[in-house]
A and B are shown apart, each in its own frame.
Chain A
Amino acid sequence: MTDAVGFRAPTDWKTDAMQKRIRKRYRAERRFRALGLAAVAMSAAFLIFLLAVMVGNGAAGFMRTEVALPIDFKAAPLDIDRAQLATRGADLALAGAGLQDRVATAATAAFGEKGEELIAENAWTAVRDAIKADPNLLSQRAHVWVPASSDLDAAADGGGEPAMQAEVRKLRERGALQSGFNAGFLSRADSTDPTAVGIWGAFKGSLLTMLVTLLIAFPIGVLSAVYLEEYAPKNRWTDLIEVSINNLAAVPSIIFGLLGLAVFLGTFGLPRSAPLVGGLTLALMIMPVIVIAGRNAIKAVPPSIRDAALGIGASRVQVVFHHVLPLALPGILTGTIIGMARALGETAPLLLIGMRAFIVTPPGGVFDPATVLPVQIFLWSDEVSRGFIEKTSAAIIVLLVFLLAMNALAIYLRNRFETRW
């Protein structure tokens, strides 16, 4: 086909060369698509692997192993006045009567020379609580379930040293080993002994910190969003505010820690390690998140609604507070929850303002020394004792459950109330 004309003949798509080329293009297409799928799949696989490792390690952290300790108060009665057991001084009285030593001796008597290593350091408190619950124990020979030491605990989960595993086998044969849900893990605070730790202390610290954060960041964030979206004149000041907010949203969190250290602790002299300071620091950190979410939600409210309200004589403040804000509220709340979830998982700035203290009693208020969940995780992850690995993972599971719940709530709110104008 040769013709010296301005229009080429239609391309012949059926030639071999063309067909080959098209097959090649389709191969490239499939390859590219597969790459995309692989990227998503790898991200998913990583997430699943991470969660699996945490659950695998952490599940044991919610369980505890108990040993049945035979103890004979009939043969050798404890020197104590029973009337005291009903009073508030019972703990002191039992401790004074040498209960701790008695428990240790009982362990040696029952399980041999190394018996003391099988039960937890605070095992005697379990005996103490048993006696308080049933004073008749003091005249009996009885078995009391006491927490196992962390080495025995690890061995019972299938790890640990061979010697301990042998002990586990022996105890199992005697039926002197049981494991159950470790309720104490959810109700206690930090401790040096991994079998005695709990996350309630850190959790309460987190709650108090979040409360302060919410009370400060939410009003400021919403008001600032309203101002910028509804009233701010277009000038350099407004630009400056906008740049500040957008930049603050991307400033590394540790910088906020330095700010808290220098300003809240240094200049204002607020107490170290207090949820108040942690909350203030995190509030400054998540405020931009709330502002940005708030502005987007307000922007999504159609101008016709403002016009309608202005048209019947509402003032500009009334328009915003009666019409725009209620309509934008779901979006603002979604942003706030996401910001709060970020604050709940934040660690670095709180390390700098001293919320890494060893807190044995849960904080009572926002001025008390406290730690928070993520920092507690960090502290436990640093511990050498093997028993802390499962506790760290268990605490991570608790933290993740809360974060997931918050994010799920945000997604629910977004889907439930999102209005398409």
Chain B
Amino acid sequence: MNLYALLFLVTGLGVIAWLTGRARAARYGAASKHRLHSLPGQHGLYVAMWTVIPALFFVIIWSIFTPNLATEAVLRDPQAFALPAFGYEREAVLNEIRARAAGSEYGFYPAAEQLAPVYLQASRFYSWIGTGIAILLAFACGAFAYTRIRADFRARTRVERTVMLALLVASLIAILTTLGIFLSLLFESLRFFAMVPITDFLFGTTWSPQVIDPADPGATLGAVPLFWGTFFIGAVIAMLVAIPFGLMSAIYLTQYAKPVVRKWMKPMLEILAGVPTVVYGYFAALTVGPAIRDFAVSLGFTYASSESALAAGLVMGVMIIPFVSSMADDSIAAVPSAMRDGSLAMGATSSETIRKVLLPAALPGVVAGVLLAVSRAIGETMIVVMAASGAANITANPFESATTVTKQIVDLLTGEAEFDSPKTLAAFALGLTLFLITFLLNIVALRVVKKYREAYD
């Protein structure tokens, strides 16, 4: 049976369970001398919960295992003994079998054509078994819950306890995700560091994953040029654009602009923040990069690249302006207005008030905002993928090309490489480094922001 139909069926059973549970509780309520502890609707919910949740869990787990079970069935088929025992071709045939079973008419392997019906039959078989069990489970659990309905049964408490459990589980997913990121990156990185010494990776100055010497893979997998390029583009060039522009925009919009101007300019900045990075990347590659190259050539830098660090950094900086601006806006707004009034009442001009009272008072918040902005810039991917070069240079010349960690991750993982090579695993080591650095920046920044908020609350 179709997965969607099954889900629909289980939901339908849930509705029926709710109705019957409610009706039964209502009858008890009418017959009993005592008042019902819980409302009939709550009893209904209790029965429905028992009907739906176990069955649903089963369906999800079963549908994860069905493809494997069906594949097993195919492999037991006599025709399958002819398949190659291991390796790429075997996987390819199995994939094609699954594709054909799903309705595809194209194919390459004759074996797949023969085995597809076997697979289809097996998966139908298991799917029917699954459906049967799911329905049985729904009925059994529903009936169990149904029999527990009494006038004094605390259905509401039970339902609420389940709700609380769901809430707790939902909030644990954030921790699970963080843990998942860290562990999966760490696991793959450890495999990488088993092949390449960690010191080669962290301190090596040559990065060229296209040519890896199997005897000494570490020789061309030194990430220092990437770290430098990331720092140069994200933390230097982009910030040189984003900090002054973002800060001054925030100051102008919060302190000077008339309400009408603010009303139009704030959404404008929000739009700037909402433009997808792939659009910025395209713009950088199409317009900004060539323009900067021409400019550099006219200055006499004949070697200038159209994939210069400046082009990527500049556009990245513009992308970050709204972010810095809104962080600065928040920090300045958090300074009590009494400070501002105090300064103005002394006869200070607005700019004196801003420069000498508001900004120093807002400084921790602004600094935290800048840290978060840096974290964002060095993790930014699409702009550098599209506008920066893949050449790993260590240079401080903004007209030359530089590459970044994120660009290399994408390049390494979108090539046609096998999964276990040092080349692909290097991407995870880069990812781990990036994660740890941004994690550090974020934690420090969030701490500062929190302390700062508390100081003025």
A and B co-occur in one complex: yes
A residues near B, CB below 8 A? 25-26, 28-29, 31-33, 35-40, 42-44, 46-47, 50, 53-54, 57, 219-221, 223-224, 226-228, 231-232, 240-241, 243-248, 250-256, 258-259, 261-263, 266-268, 284, 287-288, 291, 315-317, 321, 341-342, 344-348, 351-352, 356, 367, 374-375, 377-378, 381, 389, 392-393, 396, 399-400, 403-404, 407, 411
Decide: A35 and B248 in contact? CB cutoff 8 A: yes
User: Which of the residues A28, A245, A262, A407 comes within 8 Å of B274, measured between beta carbons?
Assistant: A407
B245 at the interface (CB under 8 A from A): yes
Decide: A263 and B180 in contact? CB cutoff 8 A: yes
| Interface pairs A-B: 7 shortest CB-CB | A252-B379, A36-B252, A345-B276, A39-B248, A223-B170, A348-B381, A32-B351
Interface 1/0 per residue, B271-301 and A, CB below 8 Å: 1101111111111011100000000000000
User: Which of the residues A25, A220, A256 comes within 8 Å of B349, measured between beta carbons?
Assistant: A25
- Residues A377 and B282 in contact in the complex (CB < 8 Å), given A227-B168, A287-B174: yes
- Residues A262 and B428 in contact in the complex (CB < 8 Å), given A223-B170, A241-B174: yes
17 A-B residue pairings within 8 Å (CB atoms): A25-B352, A33-B252, A36-B252, A43-B249, A224-B167, A243-B443, A246-B446, A247-B446, A251-B438, A259-B180, A263-B180, A263-B184, A315-B156, A348-B410, A378-B386, A381-B282, A411-B270
B147 at the interface (CB under 8 A from A): no
B257 to chain A, nearest CB (A): 8
Decide: A43 and B181 in contact? CB cutoff 8 A: no
Residue of A nearest to B167 (CB): A227
Interface 1/0 per residue, B352-394 and A, CB below 8 Å: 1011000000000000000010011011111001100000000
Residues of A contacting B318 in the complex (Cβ-Cβ under 8 angstroms): 43, 46
Number of A-B contacts (CB under 8 A): 258
- Stretch of B111-119, B122-130, B261-269 with 4 or more beta carbons under 8 angstroms from chain A: B261-269
B11 to chain A, nearest CB (A): 14
Decide: A317 and B276 in contact? CB cutoff 8 A: no
Interface 1/0 per residue, B297-340 and A, CB below 8 Å: 00000000000000000000010011000000000000000000
Residues of B contacting A39 in the complex (Cβ-Cβ under 8 angstroms): 244-249, 252
- Residues A377 and B279 in contact in the complex (CB < 8 Å), given A223-B167, A226-B167, A231-B164: yes
B175 at the interface (CB under 8 A from A): yes
Residue of A nearest to B354 (CB): A32
Residues of B contacting A33 in the complex (Cβ-Cβ under 8 angstroms): 252, 256, 350-351
B151 to chain A, nearest CB (A): 19
User: Which of the residues B170, B175, B184, B381 comes within 8 Å of A220, measured between beta carbons?
Assistant: B170
Known: A29-B350, A243-B443, A256-B181. 11 other contacts (CB 8 A): A36-B248, A39-B244, A47-B272, A54-B283, A224-B170, A243-B446, A251-B439, A263-B184, A317-B164, A378-B385, A393-B282
Residues of A contacting B278 in the complex (Cβ-Cβ under 8 angstroms): 345, 347, 374-375, 377-378, 381
B203 to chain A, nearest CB (A): 23
Greatest chain A CB density within 10 A among B249, B282, B375, B409 is at: B282
Residues of A contacting B286 in the complex (Cβ-Cβ under 8 angstroms): 53, 57, 381, 389
Residues of B contacting A53 in the complex (Cβ-Cβ under 8 angstroms): 283, 286-287
Residues of B contacting A411 in the complex (Cβ-Cβ under 8 angstroms): 267, 270
Residues of B contacting A316 in the complex (Cβ-Cβ under 8 angstroms): 160
B253 at the interface (CB under 8 A from A): yes
Residues of B contacting A400 in the complex (Cβ-Cβ under 8 angstroms): 275, 279
Interface 1/0 per residue, B107-143 and A, CB below 8 Å: 0000000000000000000000000000000000000
Decide: A251 and B272 in contact? CB cutoff 8 A: no
CA distance A28 to B274 in the complex (A): 34
User: Which of the residues A223, A254, A291, A407 comes within 8 Å of B381, measured between beta carbons?
Assistant: A254
Interface 1/0 per residue, B403-434 and A, CB below 8 Å: 00010011001100000000000011001001
B262 to chain A, nearest CB (A): 10
CA distance A403 to B317 in the complex (A): 21
CA distance A57 to B457 in the complex (A): 50
CA distance A25 to B378 in the complex (A): 40
CA distance A399 to B274 in the complex (A): 11
B173 at the interface (CB under 8 A from A): yes
User: Which of the residues A43, A287, A352 comes within 8 Å of B272, measured between beta carbons?
Assistant: A43
Residue of A nearest to B322 (CB): A43
CA distance A263 to B187 in the complex (A): 11
Residues of B contacting A315 in the complex (Cβ-Cβ under 8 angstroms): 156, 160
B185 at the interface (CB under 8 A from A): yes
B96 at the interface (CB under 8 A from A): no
Decide: B351 and A254 in contact? CB cutoff 8 A: no
B199 at the interface (CB under 8 A from A): no
Decide: A37 and B406 in contact? CB cutoff 8 A: no
Decide: B184 and A381 in contact? CB cutoff 8 A: no
Interface 1/0 per residue, B187-198 and A, CB below 8 Å: 110000000000
CA distance A259 to B185 in the complex (A): 7
- Residues A50 and B379 in contact in the complex (CB < 8 Å), given A43-B269, A258-B185, A258-B409: no
Greatest chain A CB density within 10 A among B244, B267, B269, B275 is at: B275
Residues of B contacting A219 in the complex (Cβ-Cβ under 8 angstroms): 170
Residue of A nearest to B287 (CB): A53
B396 at the interface (CB under 8 A from A): no
B384 to chain A, nearest CB (A): 10
- Residues A255 and B181 in contact in the complex (CB < 8 Å), given A244-B175, A245-B174: yes
Residues of B contacting A37 in the complex (Cβ-Cβ under 8 angstroms): 252, 256
B93 to chain A, nearest CB (A): 17
Decide: B409 and A250 in contact? CB cutoff 8 A: no
- Residues A232 and B279 in contact in the complex (CB < 8 Å), given A43-B268, A258-B185, A315-B156: no
Decide: B251 and A36 in contact? CB cutoff 8 A: yes
Residues of B contacting A28 in the complex (Cβ-Cβ under 8 angstroms): 349, 351-352
User: Which of the residues B167, B276, B351, B414 comes within 8 Å of A346, measured between beta carbons?
Assistant: B276
CA distance A73 to B87 in the complex (A): 55
B163 at the interface (CB under 8 A from A): yes
B210 at the interface (CB under 8 A from A): no
Residue of B nearest to A381 (CB): B282
Residue of B nearest to A245 (CB): B174
Decide: B413 and A261 in contact? CB cutoff 8 A: yes
